[in-house]
Structure 1
């Protein structure tokens, strides 16, 4: 095990069987203290006053439990209530290597925004079973909980009857068994936290998909209504108007944008279905974790082993055993060994292997969610670009509407004031058709004005998609 550097020398890290080694939070606080009270040079060695001052400082800190979804590991962060949230984020960075700007938190299924300028006392109360869920922008392979195999610490019984030696061996085996129980509980809790955090994040992404889809479907509804009827078409024999040609081009562009939004809508609907499928899998896996009976099996073995251990403790103070008692003692040793073997088998096959498999599955799901969120953000950016362009097109159509609405009455007034020459007989029907067409055009422009007003409201909603899609 690599030693930890200190000021005057080196202090070895605690073994993995010690709970302090499972989190770097408390370890980082205690190692400098241990280094200074174990200093060889008397001048550098701390006195009792400084030792108690430093330990009291640790005891006055609040513990914030953070479960890192990318690493699948639980961390304990120690901060003073008067510290700022920025200091807390830096402390999280020291343990997880996730930069503060990339740290995103969920708590009890809801996004938890942490303002760096606020006091750390505003951080919600957490426990080991209800921590803050840390989700990072960066993707990495989950490492999970590091632990030492309890089987490596189990001593072996000697063949002959040695009451004191058998008692010591049984005591060591029983201690390793309880360590296996604690590790099994930690591994099972880790699986539960992985599934719970993923489930919450999937729900957040589903909400983003739902909001984005609703806005785009509403936009498509209004765009399709405004593009349903052909407007500004020249009647047969009517001279072309440049503004009408420009309006037709803008409407064609709106039709293209509607097709793009339709593809985005279909794509998000597919992504929503995949997230729903993943959510169902997570719920099923959580039920399987809750129904797991490996802890009860290990506890049952330990209870039986403890009864034999108590008998060994009584026998060691006796001067000797009779023949029958000695045979019973040998049988107890065999049963004790079988129970220990069964305990380790359950721990390895039903705890460790399941946990390792869950880490692999967790890593695959994390990559899937990273891709899904990045895809949603790209779609949101594209939708925002489309909405901006659609707004420009709508403004162009509005300008054409204003121009034509002023030009037509002006043309009518000029025509009424002028004394035109008698028209040729062959041209009167064409002029009559032109007048009727221009009057119909005025009515069409009034209808278009209402459509433009509705579409502008939808475009404003599309612009808000970018902010609504950020998780």
Structure 2
């Protein structure tokens, strides 16, 4: 056998295909000699044989005992010609979770769907360990392997059970294992600070490691960080973890010997939605507890994480706030509970909420189940309207400004470009998010306008129904007047009532004109919206950022090669320096694209949206008032018509009016007076609104000049099937 390869009776591997290396073993990519199937072969070094036989056999025994889809499978235990034992295990093509987190695009943590996959797999794997009475003692991203399933989704699996042992919930152990950044503070104190202690450790030490791992996965960084790093300043590292206030999940020292900044939230750069964070943060706070007595038990941890995983996300875009939300809620919850969750996250009270979906109002009953809500995505959310004035906010964009090394240094330049690639990936996500929010704003306000246009159509229908009712009442009034024409006093009363009905009839054209003014204003707003929408496809910010990212990645790859070479020849050094100048130019273009293009256009649209929101909200309030008034007016007219019909019936029986007949006429007269008073009041409101709308013309028209310079995509270009 070549010195570059090794084998057992059934498997062989190249010593150059190293998958991972630890203190006691090295893992290689190997193959089955008969089938060619890829495997992972763990070969133990000589140092591992200094351990007791019981410890040496522990990992073999553990893997034989465990059998779960989220734990790496053991295929065989074989021997080298030297009698060294090797473990032949399942090969995970995706590498480790740590490999994934070290990729520059994940410098600020994994995207929400992938994080949820990690959460689910680790929780299920840990649950299997607890069911078998096993404590892992070395949970970290490097010991969580990634496999790709047949559906192309990731499957994460726990591995490296060299430190694992069987331990019941009430048992303790005193031996020390693990990786220092993920060690429970009690274990850290003993092994890293070399402080003698008589403490024993329980299964909760795994929960601390899981908490650090989850934080690292969500944010791309460790939760507890001294200024000089956890491995260079162990005393401060211990101080941070042990003095952490209750509820805090992060401690950061920004300057040498400076104070510790505590946080009970995940950082803004994290890609997880606020909806998921509000459920995840309490879990992190519960398991990142240094006091083993106060730390959550496994049962509480499994209950809380299972609850998160059983919730379904409902994507929501609060239009007037210009904010995207994701509501995590159980599918069996009622819509009433969903509305309360929306109010909690958005601050918009339940009575002020109105939902739209694909341009139409979404009628929901409080007793309906959430499972019956339409399927939503970040690009196709429910649109939330508020029936009160809301403040919209621009997206928080915090520029990351790493300092470029001034001197030529191969290692420093490589490290700098690695940071830059991660930052530009984050900028690219921000540009894409801004573009999506502009689309949603334009589409949402178009839908809002269409809702009001339909309301105007319904108002015109109500006016038509009122007109028909009025004509019927006038006709009946005329017949009563004709039949009672020979009684002078009654004639005078009939004439008075007839005049009142005529006045109501005369006011109807004014209401019609008011509704038509609303429709004209909506026409104007929709023209403005269409102008903005037509220009959206011409915005190439996302493509430009992608090109800049590719150029920066190419420089990073060159610097990676230079770092491996170490000392460069003269020509290679010159190329290295030229690329550094190009990198500086690319970074300036990135910042310009973010500041002067994307953010400026987004702010312009927000300004326009504020004006639209004010006008549409005022219009909606008046339309609601008119609909309420017209409904009452129709009811009054119907009642009046019924009274007139009864009076007419009595007149047809006898031409002599009775006292009761006079009483009914007095009731009719009061109804007419009340109806006329309401119509006068509404007419005054409509005239005031008309003046307000007229005064806003100058504001709208002044925006046209601004809009012509704003490049945005048409909101209604998206097909209804989206």
**How far 1:129 moved relative to its partner?**
0.8
* Contact 2:410 2:566 (8 Å CA) reproduced: no
Structure 1 stretch 41-50 or stretch 253-262: which is displaced more? 41-50
Match of 2:510 among 248, 252, 263: 263
Q: Is the 8 A contact 1:67 1:74 kept in 2?
A: yes
Partner residue of 1:39 out of 265, 272, 289: 289
Q: 1:205 to 1:315 in 2, by over 3 A?
A: same
Question: Match for 1:109 among 346, 354, 359?
Answer: 359
Number of positions where the alignment pairs a residue of Structure 1 with one of Structure 2: 399
- Aligned pair 1:343/2:621, yes or no? no
Partner of 2:433: 186
Check if 1:125 corresponds to 2:375. Answer: yes
Aligned: 1:10 with 2:248: yes
Q: What CA deviation, in whole Å up to 9, does each residue of 1:381-435 have, x standing for no partner?
A: 3333443444455445445544544446x9xxxxxxxxxxxxxxxxxxxxxxxxx
Inter-partner Cα distance in structure 1 for 2:423 and 2:245? 34
Matched, 1:164 2:402: no
Matched with 1:357 is: 604
Higher strand fraction (1 or 2): 2
Give the aligned partner of residue 423 of structure 1: none
Mapping of 1:49-64 within 5 angstroms? 49-64=299-314
Task: Choose from 66, 70, 77 the match for 2:316.
Answer: 66
Distance 1:351-1:209 versus aligned 2 partners, 3 A rule: same
**For residue 92 of structure 1, what is the aligned residue in structure 2?**
342
Q: How far apart, CA to CA, are the structure 1 residues paired with 2:621 and 2:452?
A: 11
Match of 1:372 in 2: 619
Deviation at 1:288? 2.3
SS in 2 for 1:129: coil
Q: CA deviation at 1:73?
A: 0.7
Separation in 1 of the partners of 2:486 and 2:388?
Answer: 62
Q: Deviations over 1:175-225 (max 9, x none)?
A: 111111100111111111111111112111101101211331454367569
8 Å Cα contact 1:217-1:265 kept in structure 2: no
- Does the C-alpha gap of structure 1 residues 155 and 140 become closer, same or farther in structure 2, counting only changes over 3 Å? same
Change (3 A) 1:160 1:30: same
Per the alignment, do residues 53 and 401 of structure 1 end up closer, same or farther by CA in structure 2, a change over 3 Å counting? closer
Alignment of 1:34-433 (within 5 A): 34-149=284-399, 153-217=400-464, 219-220=466-467, 223=470, 241-395=488-642, 397-399=644-646, 401-407=648-654
Q: Tell me which of the two structures has the higher relative contact order, counting C-alpha pairs closer than 8 angstroms and 6 or more residues apart.
A: 1
After TM superposition, the structure 1 stretch with the greater mean CA deviation from structure 2, 137-146 or 65-74, is 137-146
CA distance in 2, matches of 1:234, 1:328: 104
Write the distance in 2 (CA, Å) between the matches of 1:70 and 1:256: 41
Q: In the aligned structure 2, how far is the partner of 1:346 from the partner of 1:107?
A: 33
State the distance in 1 between where 2:469 and 2:298 align. 77
State the partner residue of 2:72: none
Name the SS of the counterpart of 1:139 in structure 2.
coil
Bigger mean CA deviation after superposition, 186-195 or 281-290: 281-290
Deviates more, 1:239-248 or 1:268-277: 239-248
1 CA distance for matches of 2:619 and 2:506?
22
Q: Per residue, is there more helix in 1 or in 2? A: 1
Give the unaligned 5+ runs of structure 2. 1-243, 250-262, 657-674, 676-722
CA contact (8 A) 1:243 1:400 kept: no
**TM-score, normalization: structure 1?**
0.78
Deviations 1:119-147 (A, max 9, x none): 22122211111111111222111124333
Whole-angstrom distance in 2 between the partners of 1:177 and 1:80 = 36
Asked whether the equivalents of residues 232 and 244 of structure 1 are also in contact (C-alpha less than 8 Å), the reply is no
Over 3 Å counting, the alpha-carbon distance change for 1:332 and 1:234 in structure 2 is: closer
Question: In the TM superposition, what whole-angstrom CA distance separates every residue of 1:4-51 from its partner, at most 9, and x where no partner exists?
Answer: xx993423222211112xx32111111111111111211111244432
Question: How far apart, CA to CA, are the structure 2 residues paired with 1:162 and 1:71?
Answer: 47
* Structure 1 residues 312 and 379: alpha-carbon distance in aligned structure 2, compared to 1, 3 A threshold: same
SS of the residue 2:356 aligns to? strand
> Once the two structures are superposed, what CA deviation does each residue of 1:143-195 show, in whole Å capped at 9, x if it has no partner?
2433322xxx2323223211111111111122111111100111111111111
Structure 1 CA distance, aligned partners of 2:481 and 2:316?
A: 68
Cα separation, 1, equivalents of 2:290 and 2:276: 24
Alpha-carbon shift at residue 373 of structure 1 (Å): 0.6
Rate the CA distance shift 1:406–1:365 in 2: closer, same or farther, 3 A.
same
**Mapped partners of 2:635, 2:288: distance in 1:** 67
CA–CA separation in structure 2 for the residues paired with 1:390 and 1:256: 14
Taking the aligned partners of 1:393 and 1:51, their CA distance within structure 2 comes to 67
**Whole-Å Cα distance in 2 between the matches of residues 247 and 185 of structure 1?**
70
Please tell me whether residue 19 in structure 1 is matched to residue 271 in structure 2.
yes
- Secondary structure of 1:316 counterpart: helix
Contact kept in structure 2, 1:93 and 1:99, CA below 8 Å: yes
Q: Distance in 1 between matches of 2:462 and 2:524?
A: 23
What is the alpha-carbon distance in structure 2 between the residues aligned to residue 337 and residue 282 of structure 1?
Answer: 39
